[in-house]
């Protein structure tokens, strides 16, 4: 397993989870309790960002997140190499499971324009995020680049994720995609926009 | 949001490994941060990603907060 010396706690976790019978059952129970604690901690930390409606469902989301995280951890246990403490490695699965659920829960009653003509409908209204740009010339260059230099898909993702501040895992769910794929499109869109603005200002842009 | 509005909109330049690669580093990053190590130096690409990705930034903050709570027990 290649665990670092001195990480006795991680060794104990692995011994228990790789055992059989009551020893394993006890370790799995302990793991589920740890994951539920992480999920509840994150839900409490984000409670202010959650809508009033649906708060009573949050503890169910925590249980679902802990359960799915436990399954993922047990499946991936042979991949754990001891590069971090076991508890840190395990807790990240619970954190991501509850995090995605909470964002989707918070946005579930909110409409998001996810068709690729969204920019045309928004052309007459300047996004509040764009208005933070004080340099009018840069703002105009950016708006031109959004219109002319992005693909429809890039424009849609940039509009939603950056200008409308829709979380990318919410977008991934609505667009039947993955968080990683949505982020890649956003990353490429931003690179295109930086290049276009640098060109308009007569500079070379390093991506 | 970055102090520079354009940087906030268009992200930071430099290598950004994306969400999936960042996920693989989350646990090592958190352990290093909790030990008080220089994470900017040890995890430059991960740090660049969390500056650019609001979801991963929020998740990193959440995981660190949860782990600190567990350590304080």
Partner residue opposite A169 with nearest CB, options B8, B26, B55: B55
pLDDT of residue A1: 45
pLDDT of residue A111: 83
Those residues of chain A whose CB sits closer than 8 Å to some CB in chain B are 34, 37-38, 41-42, 45-46, 83-85, 87-89, 91-92, 95-96, 99, 103, 129-130, 132-134, 138, 142, 162, 165, 167-169, 179-180, 183-184, 187, 190, 193-194, 197, 205-207
Cα torsion A124, A128, A129, A132: sign = positive
Which tokens in the block code for residue A87? 């508890």
Among the listed residues A131, A183, A182, A123, the one whose alpha carbon sits nearest the alpha carbon of residue B6: A131
Taking only the tens place, the pLDDT of each residue in A94-124 is: 999 999 999 999 998 888 876 655 555 555 5
Question: Which residue in this structure is represented by tokens 């060794």?
Answer: A11
Q: Is B44 on the interface with A (CB under 8 A)?
A: no
pLDDT of residue A129: 61
pLDDT of residue A55: 74
Dist CA B19 CA A92 (whole Å): 13
Residue A4 DSSP symbol = P
Among the listed residues A54, A152, A136, the one whose alpha carbon sits nearest the alpha carbon of residue A103: A54
Total CB pairs under 8 A between chain A and B: 101
CB atoms within 10 A of CB A51: 12
Q: Is B59 on the interface with A (CB under 8 A)?
A: yes
Residue A138: closest C-alpha in chain B: B6
DSSP B24-69: HHHHHHHHHHHTT--HHHH-HHHHHHHHH-HHHHHHHHHHHHHHHH
CA distances from A79 to A6, A16, A82, A93, A186 (A): 20, 16, 9, 14, 30
Taking only the tens place, the pLDDT of each residue in A143-158 is: 889 889 999 999 999 9
**A133 and B54: CB-CB below 8 Å?**
no
ipTM field: 0.92
CB atoms within 10 A of CB A139: 17
The set of long-range contacts for A41-46, using a CB threshold of 8 Å and a minimum separation of 24, is A41/B62, A41/B65, A41/B66, A41/B69, A42/A95, A42/A98, A42/A99, A42/A102, A42/B62, A42/B65, A42/B66, A43/A98, A43/A102, A45/B62, A45/B65, A46/A102, A46/B62
Give the predicted TM-score (pTM) of the model.
Answer: 0.87
Q: Are A163 and A129 in contact (CB under 8 A)?
A: yes
Q: Are B68 and A38 in contact (CB under 8 A)?
A: no
Minimum distance, in Å, between the CA of residue B37 and any CA atom of chain A:
14
pLDDT of residue A206: 53
**Confidence class of residue A49 from pLDDT cuts 50, 70 and 90?**
confident
Q: Is B8 on the interface with A (CB under 8 A)?
A: yes
Minimum distance, in Å, between the CA of residue B7 and any CA atom of chain A:
9
Helices (H), A20-122: 21-45, 58-76, 86-107, 118-122
Give B-chain residues touching A149 at CB under 8 angstroms.
Answer: none
**Environment class of A198 (CB within 10 Å of its CB; exposed 0-12, middle 13-18, buried 19+):** middle
């Amino acid at each position: 397993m290649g665990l670092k010396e001195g990480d006795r706690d991680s060794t104990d976790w692995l011994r228990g989870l790789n055992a059989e019978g009551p020893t394993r059952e006890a370790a799995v129970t302990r793991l589920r309790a740890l994951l539920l604690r992480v999920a509840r901690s994150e839900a409490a930390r984000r409670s202010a960002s959650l809508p009033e409606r649906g708060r009573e469902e949050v503890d169910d989301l925590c249980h679902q997140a802990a359960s799915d995280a436990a399954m993922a951890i047990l499946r991936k246990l042979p991949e754990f190499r001891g590069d971090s403490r076991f508890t840190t490695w395990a807790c990240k699965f619970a954190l991501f499971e509850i995090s995605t659920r909470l964002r989707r829960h918070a946005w579930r009653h909110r409409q998001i324009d996810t068709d690729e003509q969204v920019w045309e409908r928004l052309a007459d209204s300047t996004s509040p995020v764009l208005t933070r740009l004080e340099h009018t010339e840069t703002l105009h260059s950016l708006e031109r680049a959004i219109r002319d230099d992005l693909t429809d898909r890039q424009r849609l993702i940039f509009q939603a994720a950056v200008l409308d501040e829709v979380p990318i895992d919410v977008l991934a769910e609505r667009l039947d995609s993955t968080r990683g794929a949505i982020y890649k499109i956003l990353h490429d869109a931003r690179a295109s926009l930086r290049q276009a603005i640098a060109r308009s200002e007569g500079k070379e842009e390093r991506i | 949001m970055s102090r520079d509005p354009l940087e906030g909109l268009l992200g930071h330049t430099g290598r950004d490994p994306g969400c999936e690669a960042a996920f693989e580093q989350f646990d090592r990053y958190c352990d290093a941060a909790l030990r008080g190590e220089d994470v900017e130096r040890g995890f430059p690409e991960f740090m660049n990603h969390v500056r650019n990705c609001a979801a991963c930034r929020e998740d990193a903050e959440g995981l660190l907060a949860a782990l600190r709570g567990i350590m304080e027990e």
